[in-house]
Chains A and B, each alone.
Chain A
Amino acid sequence: MNLEMPLMIFGDMIHVTFYLDVAAAILVLGVLVLCSRGIIRDAVEAKLFRLLLLAVFVLAVSEALNYAGLFADIPAALSMLLQTVNELMLSAALIMWLVYVEYRLYRSRDDLKRRVVKRLIPMFIVVGLELINPFTGILFTVNMSLVVYGTIVQGLCEVVRLVYIISSSVRVVKEKKARRDLKFFAIAEFILPVIAAYLLTGIWPYSMVPLGFAVGLTCIYAGIINETSFQDQETGYYNRFYLPSLKKEITEGSYRLKSGMIFRLGREEDTEAFSKLLNPILPKKCIMIRFDRKTFVMLAEINERVAFHMMKEDARDAIQEHNSKNDDPDIQVAIDMIMKREGTPAAFYDKLFQRVKRS
């Protein structure tokens, strides 16, 4: 009896962990399939997110196989290989998480290249240790297919991983407070399941880390879908469904609307070409809304006339250049500016969109 109890618990642990890992793998695979449908417009972000999902998927599968192997009485060498893959994938998932966060925050390839390598050095060291572990046992050993942890170095590696998760999440939270463009980044929904998974793994005999990541990434993806519902698929600008939420921000005072610029296209067919011309000349701080098939509205928190004149001139120049180089019918655009002189930003918003609707 005394001998059977631990074995029962051990067998239970294997089963539960196996099923949790399979659930995590299925969940991540589902998100991966959905992701490949091109919902994320930014190609770099889409690629990084897919790689992150892939790393978590392999992590879940390798861990499931490792636990399944315990029943099949696999050789210790194979168990070591699966465990090493498992550890490497956990590190890969964290590396991809950091890279994804860096890119999502600033959407800049150059900033990513400049910043990320230095930040990844501790994780590269962890990966190096994981690679040499099968020959040195510096992190863990395998005894009769069972993984035996317990070295100080392994503990340090876990600390590095946790620091990665927490520090990158803290950065997102800080940035989110200051930037409205990050409001759909569901960082709390990511960090809670991941941290809960780490804590539960510490107190329960089941490994829940892949499931924690899978749930967290599903929440991130849900945030992306939410954001996409407010985006015009053709141009990437906000669509008119975003307006109620924007009006709420303006009324609450978190967006201080002071001016707007209305672009009215002559033909619907020019939408895509027009947005391509506009993108390179658009200031980063403005909000661009595709109001209807032919109307675009640019909003800003400034009311300096020269800034809008520059914008108007640049738009005209870009269109003129496009028209002179293409045989297609000319793009015709009417541009209208409106500035807040008095009253509240909310009243100005109403006035601006009344003018947009009248056109």
Chain B
Amino acid sequence: MPDIQELCEDNLETFDPYLGKDLAEDMRREFFRGYGMQGEDGTPTGVMVWELLNSEKDDEEVKSRIRYLQAESGDSLDFMQERYQEEGVSEEEIKESFYWLEDEKSASSCEKAGFSKERKESECITLSLSDASKIPFFAKLKKIPDFICSLETLTPIQYRLAVKNCLFNEKKGLLEDLGYLQKDFFDTTVSACTITDDEASGLFLIRARASGILEPVLLTASGPDFQKHLAMMIAYAIKKGAEKYPPETVIRISRSRKETAALVKKLLPGLKGEDLFFGNRTEKQ
């Protein structure tokens, strides 16, 4: 029987070569789970990582998004799938699992395990910071008012209130674990906020990933001029990003939320995501 371990702080380093910098970083987050597989000599031979969705909501079904699945052999992939189905799914009471994967071998292993499989355009698109600076809509916004500022200007109390307001409004963007994240989890210089009556009425949170990619993860604002504020926060972040990072820095935008997809379609027409494998499976308890 192959040695499959649950990924945790203690063994993350062992599986670093498989995980890569970004995933290793994510594994320290609240709802990320994973398995690591080792050969007889202790060398890592495969990794499976998934993120739980809705796991803190008592009246919603828990879903799992398989973020990564990679192994040296098809058998190793199957072993991890089996373990996932037997333990991962039942322990967390997962009702549905889905994946977006690049590797066909991994997707086929999922298909073998009962997932559907289709090839379609990824939810994620990428563009460079210099391309973002050239988006006409933001390039035209020359003057950004003083009430749009960096996340670093928020006091801890202001940041926590802003996060609570997001959670109570069910606005979490891509951050399932928003309530667990500290301010410095984000790039506090590039991330922007809108200050209204000494409170943050808008947030544009951006992560600077260990790999150097910039990832916008939450964009929200409230109040009568929220649309204007959203646009100004994006313009502010692009400006700050251009000051801090080289122009070729990659920005990765997820279009998993329909508002983001609509915005991307409007601002970046014609920009396509790469083709990936997608599939899902309803879990039996």
Residues of A within 8 A of B (CB): 102, 105-106, 108-111, 114-115, 258, 280-281, 283-286, 300-307, 309-311, 314, 339-342
Indicate if the CB atoms of A341 and B58 lie closer than 8 Å: yes
What's the Cα separation between A342 and B59 when bound, in Å?
7
Q: Which listed residue, A285, A303, A306, A342, touches B169 by the CB 8 Å rule? A: A285
What's the Cα separation between A300 and B170 when bound, in Å?
11
B72 CB-CB contact with A under 8 Å = no
What's the Cα separation between A311 and B170 when bound, in Å?
15
What's the Cα separation between A301 and B170 when bound, in Å?
9
Question: Which residues of the partner chain B approach A109 to less than 8 Å between Cβ atoms?
Answer: 197
B130 CB-CB contact with A under 8 Å = no
Given contacts A285-B169, A302-B168, contact A341 B59 (CB under 8 A): yes
Write the nearest CB–CB distance from B95 to chain A, whole angstroms: 15
B67 CB-CB contact with A under 8 Å = no
Q: Closest residue to B223 on the A side, CB-wise?
A: A111
Indicate if the CB atoms of A306 and B168 lie closer than 8 Å: no
Q: Which listed residue, B164, B170, B177, B225, touches A310 by the CB 8 Å rule? A: B164
B165 CB-CB contact with A under 8 Å = yes
Question: Which residues of the partner chain A approach B56 to less than 8 Å between Cβ atoms?
Answer: 304-306
Query: B residues 216-251 with Cβ under 8 Å of A?
Result: 222-225
Indicate if the CB atoms of A108 and B168 lie closer than 8 Å: no
Can you list 11 residue pairs at the A/B interface with Cβ under 8 Å?
A: A110-B197, A114-B225, A280-B157, A284-B165, A285-B165, A300-B168, A303-B59, A305-B58, A306-B177, A310-B179, A342-B59
What's the Cα separation between A114 and B202 when bound, in Å?
15
Indicate if the CB atoms of A286 and B168 lie closer than 8 Å: yes
What's the Cα separation between A311 and B157 when bound, in Å?
11
Residues of B within 8 A of A (CB): 56-59, 147, 157, 160-161, 163-165, 167-170, 177-180, 195-197, 222-225
Write the nearest CB–CB distance from A167 to chain B, whole angstroms: 13
Indicate if the CB atoms of B224 and A283 lie closer than 8 Å: no
Indicate if the CB atoms of A307 and B164 lie closer than 8 Å: yes
Write the nearest CB–CB distance from A285 to chain B, whole angstroms: 4
Question: Which residues of the partner chain B approach A300 to less than 8 Å between Cβ atoms?
Answer: 168
Given contacts A109-B197, A258-B59, contact A283 B157 (CB under 8 A): no
Q: Which listed residue, A108, A301, A314, touches B160 by the CB 8 Å rule? A: A314
What's the Cα separation between A285 and B177 when bound, in Å?
20
Indicate if the CB atoms of A106 and B179 lie closer than 8 Å: no
Given contacts A106-B223, A109-B197, contact A304 B59 (CB under 8 A): no
Write the nearest CB–CB distance from A37 to chain B, whole angstroms: 27
Indicate if the CB atoms of B167 and A304 lie closer than 8 Å: yes
Indicate if the CB atoms of B167 and A306 lie closer than 8 Å: yes
Q: Which listed residue, B161, B178, B225, touches A111 by the CB 8 Å rule? A: B225
Minimum-distance CB pairs A-B, first 3 = A306-B179, A307-B167, A283-B168
Write the nearest CB–CB distance from B274 to chain A, whole angstroms: 33
What's the Cα separation between A114 and B165 when bound, in Å?
22
Write the nearest CB–CB distance from A78 to chain B, whole angstroms: 43
What's the Cα separation between A354 and B172 when bound, in Å?
32
Question: Which residues of the partner chain A approach B165 to less than 8 Å between Cβ atoms?
Answer: 283-285
What's the Cα separation between A115 and B165 when bound, in Å?
23
| Most B-side CB within 10 Å, residue of A281, A285, A286, A341 | A285
Write the nearest CB–CB distance from B280 to chain A, whole angstroms: 24
Indicate if the CB atoms of A111 and B167 lie closer than 8 Å: no
Q: Which listed residue, A105, A281, A339, A341, touches B157 by the CB 8 Å rule? A: A281
Indicate if the CB atoms of A283 and B164 lie closer than 8 Å: yes
Question: Which residues of the partner chain B approach A280 to less than 8 Å between Cβ atoms?
Answer: 157, 161
Q: Closest residue to A300 on the B side, CB-wise?
A: B168
What's the Cα separation between A19 and B99 when bound, in Å?
77
Given contacts A106-B223, A111-B224, A314-B160, contact A304 B179 (CB under 8 A): yes
Question: Which residues of the partner chain A approach B177 to less than 8 Å between Cβ atoms?
Answer: 306
What's the Cα separation between A307 and B175 when bound, in Å?
13
Given contacts A302-B168, A304-B167, contact A105 B57 (CB under 8 A): no
Indicate if the CB atoms of A115 and B164 lie closer than 8 Å: no
Indicate if the CB atoms of A307 and B179 lie closer than 8 Å: yes
Question: Which residues of the partner chain B approach A111 to less than 8 Å between Cβ atoms?
Answer: 196-197, 223-225
* Beyond known contacts A111-B225, A284-B169, A340-B58: 11 more, CB 8 A cutoff: A108-B223, A110-B147, A111-B196, A115-B224, A280-B157, A281-B157, A283-B161, A285-B165, A310-B163, A310-B167, A314-B164
Question: Which residues of the partner chain B approach A284 to less than 8 Å between Cβ atoms?
Answer: 165, 168-169, 222
Write the nearest CB–CB distance from A311 to chain B, whole angstroms: 6
